[in-house]
Amino acid sequence: MKNQQYNKLASGAKSTLLTLVLVTFLSLGKSNAQAPGIVGIDHVGINVPDIDEAVNYFHDMFGFTPVTQLGPFSMPAEWKKTFYIHENADQVELKMLRAGDGSNIELFAYKPNSGSKEQPYRDDISATHFALYTSDLKATKTYLESKGVKFLSDIQSGGGDTEGETWVYFETPWGATIELNSYPHGKGYEKHNPAVKLWTASSNIELSPATYSKAELKKIADLQIQIWDNTDEQSRSAQLTELYTDDIVFFDEAAVIKGLKDLNARITQLQHQNPGFKFSMIKIDNSANVVRYYWNYGPKSNPKLISGMDLMILENGKARSLNVFLDKLPAAKK
Q: Which CATH number fits domain 118-204: 3.30.70.980, 3.30.750.24, 3.10.180.10, 3.30.2310.20?
A: 3.10.180.10
Name the 3-class secondary structure at 180: strand
Name the 3-class secondary structure at 5: helix
Give the model confidence (pLDDT) of 128-155 as tens digits. 889 998 878 999 999 999 999 999 999 9
- Domain 42-116 matches domain 118-204 at the CATH topology level: yes
Name the 3-class secondary structure at 269: helix
If one compares 194 and 235, the residue with the highest pLDDT of the two is 235
Q: Domain segments of the chain: what residues?
A: 4-28+208-328, 42-116, 118-204
pLDDT band at 14 (very low <50, low <70, confident <90, very high): very low
Cα 308 from Cα 1, distance rounded (Å): 7
Contact 292, 19 (CB under 8 A): no
Task: Assess whether pLDDT exceeds 70 at residue 195.
Answer: no
Give the model confidence (pLDDT) of 64-109 as tens digits. 989 999 999 999 999 999 998 998 899 999 999 988 777 899 999 9
Report long-range pairs for 13-19 (Cβ below 8 Å, ≥24 apart): 13/253, 13/325, 13/326, 14/325, 14/326, 14/327, 15/325, 16/292, 16/309, 16/325, 16/327, 18/287, 18/290, 18/292, 18/311
Q: Class of 42-116 per CATH? A: alpha beta
Cα 263 from Cα 248, distance rounded (Å): 8
- Taking Cα atoms as reference points, which of 187, 125, 128 lies closest to residue 161? 187
* HEC string for 32-90: CCCCCCCCCCCEEEEECCCHHHHHHHHHHHHCCEEEEEEEEEECCHHHHHHCCCCCCCC
- Taking Cα atoms as reference points, which of 185, 212, 182, 184 lies closest to residue 318? 212
What pLDDT sits at residue 204?
54
What pLDDT sits at residue 226?
96
The torsion defined by the Cα of 180, 174, 79 and 104, in degrees rounded to 10, comes to -30
Query: Where are the strands (E) in 99-240, listed by range?
Result: 104-111, 131-133, 150-151, 156-157, 166-171, 177-182
What pLDDT sits at residue 48?
94
- Taking Cα atoms as reference points, which of 164, 161, 160, 144 lies closest to residue 152? 144
CA distances from 208 to 14, 23, 313 (A): 27, 16, 9
Task: Assess whether pLDDT exceeds 90 at residue 221.
Answer: yes
Which residues partner with 174 through β-bridges?
Answer: none
Q: Which phi and psi angles does 92 have, rounded to 5°?
A: -135, 145
Q: Which fold would CATH assign to domain 4-28+208-328?
A: Nuclear Transport Factor 2; Chain: A, (3.10.450)
Give the model confidence (pLDDT) of 150-183 as tens digits. 999 999 999 988 988 999 999 999 999 999 998 8
> Which run of H or of E encompasses 296?
strand 290-298
Contact 59, 120 (CB under 8 A): no
If one compares 234 and 27, the residue with the highest pLDDT of the two is 234
Give the rounded distance of the alpha carbon of 153 from its chain centre. 25
